[in-house]
Structure 1
Amino acid sequence: MEWLIAAKPVVLLHAFPFSPEMWAPQVAELEGRYTVYAPALPGFGGREPGAASLEAWAEELGEALDDLGFEEAVFVGLSMGGYLAFRVWDLFPERVAGLVLADTRAQPDDAAGKAKRAELAARVRSEGTGVLVESFVPSVLGPGTLAAETEEKRAVVEWVERWVREADPEGVARALEALAARPDSRPLLGEIEVPTLVLVGEDDTLTPPADARAMAAAIPDAELLILPGAGHMANLESPEAFNTALLGFLEKVYGG
């Protein structure tokens, strides 16, 4: 256990339909201070698609933590990564030292949302991931980022568009099916007994600040931070604010 505390593990769970590459601004800040594990989820980052089940992904993640020797860790999940973090808490809460829930929500898809994901999965399988670029990219980035008035903002738009186009169609389709099938995590919120930070971009329209406020209010002693000038991909759109909040939280969990 002394080694574990010294290692200070942090697990970064990426968003749909990206890969661990999206965490580059955070990894650059965390490395040297914490032991960072940013896995590629099934079907992303060159991995073969797996089961269309977040619970199966969580079980696989638990096995990876065993291999790494991590008895527990702080889990940082953004969007789909947050949905997976809830499954981790549900399956093995004893392994969770803390939670950062970024631009995510606890409620499941409604019937219309499930139908939309099923339709999109079918289109991606037949037409490729290019079909996501026109509609999906504007939905995950805030207006300030989409305006691309600075070199940094232009780079974020380019990264997101490239990552979407490069994603594996079958991996994307199975992830869409897994997201549609995810259970309601709201019953878990009141049971979360570890330090929790809820982060959300002020311009996030997919998992808006209202959802983040409700989620934070339901988790005992959770902290809530709304990041100005950021949309759904807050870690990329407002990396300095995101990193400051994340580092401050990790210091509270693990000590300075």
Structure 2
Amino acid sequence: MSIPVIFLHAFPYSPAMWEGQLEVVKGHPVLVPEILGYESLESAAAHVLVEMDNRGWEKAVFVGLSMGGYVMFRLWNLEPERFLGMVLADTRATPDTPEQKAARAQMALRIQQEGTGFLPEALLPGHLGESTRTRNPALVEQVRQTLLAAEPAKTIASLKGLAERPDSVPLLPDIAVPALILVGEEDTLTPPADARQMAAQIPDSRMLLIPQAGHLANLENPKAFNTALRGFLRELEGH
């Protein structure tokens, strides 16, 4: 049987952000759980494990982008034996700084007061790279609509979970499965320096820069992202 693959989405998006990757994993059992709306990333991770158990999957390859990567570290902390490999995309192992925590609290308060109408203005500049913002108006509009559609209560809950997530750096040297680290070269939120830091500490890891992409590398340069993902899955199948 082909390796099961689990995709973990970014904040405040939905599993739909992975549509462009589903072609790559055709023939693999696939799970794309909803992980928005949990006040702790441990709860989100526990939800993923329940979904795995419901399908009778013992192990899988996990692919997580941004918040999806943070949830993946909690999964590794809870049940590392469930991993066949991991793809950490546009994410980092370090916790929020006091400034970042304060910004999340402020955003949650603002959503409570006025809804999610301001999210595109607040998040688009950091979520999409300069190449996308200047050359791909269709994607900019797609992401804008997705941000506007984010459910306020779930978004607020996730902001709390993100702000309170623990430091995952101590986990890195003990990651005992192959890891592929992907990062958009124009990512300013979790920049290539963060990816290099993880790659230096995870024993069996390789890192790739995704050109002309920011924080949502799988949407901004699906061709490069999918090529890397396909190669990694082939390598794991060969193990």
Q: Is 2:232 aligned against 1:237? A: no
User: d(CA) in 2 for partners of 1:42 and 1:192?
Assistant: 25
Give the counterpart of 2:109 among 118, 122, 126: 122
Tell me the equivalent position of 1:8.
Answer: 3
Question: After superposition, where does 1:76-225 map in structure 2 within 5 Å?
Answer: 76-148=63-135, 153-225=136-208
Amino acid corresponding to residue 35 of structure 2 in structure 1: L
Equivalent position of 2:17 in the other structure: 22
SS of the residue aligned with 2:207?
A: strand
State the 1:126 CA deviation. 1.3
Hey, what does 2:33 align to over in structure 1? Answer: 39
In structure 2, distance between residues paired with 1:99 and 1:106: 14
Q: Residues of 2 paired with 1:124 and 1:255: CA distance?
A: 47
Give 1:56 deviation, angstroms.
1.0
- The TM-score with structure 2 as length reference comes to 0.97
Letter in 1 for 2:32: A
Percent identical: 53
Alignment-derived partner of residue 56 in structure 2: 69
- Following superposition, the deviation at residue 129 of structure 1 comes to 1.1
Give unmatched runs, 5+ long, in structure 1. Answer: 1-5, 44-50
**Structure 2 contact 129–213 (Cα < 8 Å) conserved:** yes
The secondary structure found in structure 2 opposite 1:29 is coil
Farther off after superposition, 118-127 or 177-186: 118-127
Partner Cα separation in structure 2 for residue 216 and residue 188 of structure 1: 13
1:193 Cα deviation (Å)? 0.5
Distance 1:28 1:250 in 2: 13
Cα displacement (A) at 1:124: 0.9
TM-score by length of 1: 0.91
Q: Distance in 2 between matches of 1:239 and 1:70?
A: 27
- CA shift, 1:61, in A, is 1.1
- CA distance in 1 between counterparts of 2:73 and 2:134 reads 33
Choose the corresponding residue for 1:55, options 28, 32, 42: 42
Q: 1:16 is paired with a residue of what secondary structure?
A: coil
C-alpha separation between the residues in 1 aligned to 2:40 and 2:107?
17
Query: Cα offset for 1:28?
Result: 2.3
Is the contact made by 2:11 and 2:36 (CA closer than 8 Å) also made in structure 1?
A: no
> Is contact 2:60–2:84 with CA below 8 Å preserved after alignment?
yes
Q: Tell me how many residue pairs correspond in the alignment.
A: 239
Using the alignment, how far apart are the partners of 1:240 and 1:249 within structure 2?
14
Give the alignment's Cα RMSD to 1 decimal.
1.1
For 1:155 and 1:252, the matched residues in 2 are separated by: 34
